[in-house]
Structure 1
Amino acid sequence: MSAVSFQNVSKTFATARGELHALKGVSFDIEPGEFFGLLGPNGAGKTTLISILAGLSRASSGRVLVHGADVQADFAQARRCLGVVPQELVFDPFFNVREALRFQSGYFGIQRNDDWIDELLDGLGLTDKANANMRQLSGGMKRRVLVAQALVHKPPVIVLDEPTAGVDVELRQTLWAFVSRLNKQGSTVLLTTHYLEEAEALCNRIAMLKLGQVVALDKTSELLKQAVATQLCFKTDQALPPALAAQARVTGRVVRLPAQDAAAVERLLAQLREQGIAVEDIEIRKADLEDVFLDLMAGHPEASA
């Protein structure tokens, strides 16, 4: 039995301009114990799909199952199997951290849950904030509490919707260390993120969405094989000549150019010298998930139909 099964899921919204097809027949399964990534640009349908999974939105057609329980027909059972960390910072300003976690436990009928609560507080670096009112916490600390609330009933499936958006490096490391430990202990994790280096490092398998459709679904290692084998990377303050600019990926001063082999690297460097382009910090690196992602998003014109 799959941990999560999306079966031909479609979602249509009525707008002033007509129907908006947010999801178009999305189908894939997530197996128990997987660390699964769901990637896509803004507007791809990721949050809509997560909302349907969590029972916050109803699919126009198709089914979603969590450990065999339909999220609509058997909502209570499906919800007990899910721990969802939302994008938004939502909290009750009248309780301290420990009280908030105790109340969350009560929603699932769990009493005397303090041992697990203490473990969550320790694992997420919240022990010294246990008696602090939620209003007193920083944004990063509030996000840690959201993670703890999602895990307080020990769900077998953990859904992380942009969990590290706008948080510091320390929280990211703390969060991923704790979630990775739960994953190794058997928990299934579904992650949506715009930090593709996180997805590459953490996820065994990845689905990519574009305009409500799945445009890629494979093991992370297989997706990486689709990318150009190597790249020439360097920094420069000068504009590239048009021929190189057309194939370059530029982020500030950092330039990446595809280079299949050593001969290609030599040709690129020769072109730069001929054009008088001063470069620094030259390195040869392997293509990463971001390269695959950008290639896939640039393609698949049928997804916009």
Structure 2
Amino acid sequence: MRKLIKTTDELPQEFCLKNYEGMDRLSAFDWFFLFQARYLLTSLLENGIKHFAHPEKLTEDEENEAAQQAIEQLLTMPLQLDLAFNYKKHNGVVIELDISTSSYHDFMKDHYPVKELYEDDLKSLLSCAKNNQIVFNSSKGETILLGEDYEFKKLSTTYPIVINPFYPNHIIFKELENLLIKIRQKIKIKDSYKVISKKDLLNWASYKILPYMDLKIWELYNGVKITNSVMCSALYTKGEYGEDTLRKSVEPLRLRVLNQIFFATLENIDEISLFDSLAYLAYADLLENGKNS
């Protein structure tokens, strides 16, 4: 049975709510990589640092030390987007452990709901056609590329259509709406999904989801259990929320972050994941700020 943490005095010394000030000003881009770091660190604790494919093999003691160093960095610099550090092995060799980085974000355009056709999209489309044994042998070109037997959700999360931009918007939008109904019926998905909005980002900040996740990571590493009353005392010093909110809203959000990494189960998509929605908002911010093309 895990040891119960019954007072805030037993929480890690590195934990301080002041380190999390400014969460209400975080962008979708920031939230994406802050969640990613916690997702990956949780995976590290469950599966071991060796699963991060570092060429330097670590002993069990070194893995524990590296994990502890990662948690300490997370607690002391929780709003830093990258989770990376140098670790000195017992033989004196210093290695860089890059658990999560925000430097690569081109993939976010793949989660944008509407975009132009990229080279990778065309390659994927041709691969899908090949896998579905589509033969282009109609002299009139009347074969619909993605027919009734197209295994869409096993191969892609984008669906190609053709638009004539010379038509006025109201005609294009109306026809697109009609076509979407047919497409969703054909590939058997719901008509709409709940996606993340900017309002959700503010709610996450008010819930103090990041310090909550960090304490849960510390809890996992140390094999202890922080009671909900202690968690609320540590997070909501002004009594903003209680154990009921923690149980019904904050913990489900944490589990959603850990269990909804993109379209993880393409064969049975239930909804757009939190990471997909965040990637969309983050890429929209990048476009707006002129950081991408």
TM-score, normalised by the number of residues in structure 2 = 0.23
Decide which structure has greater strand share. 1
Higher relative contact order (CA 8 A, sep 6+): 2
TM-score, normalised by the number of residues in structure 1 = 0.23
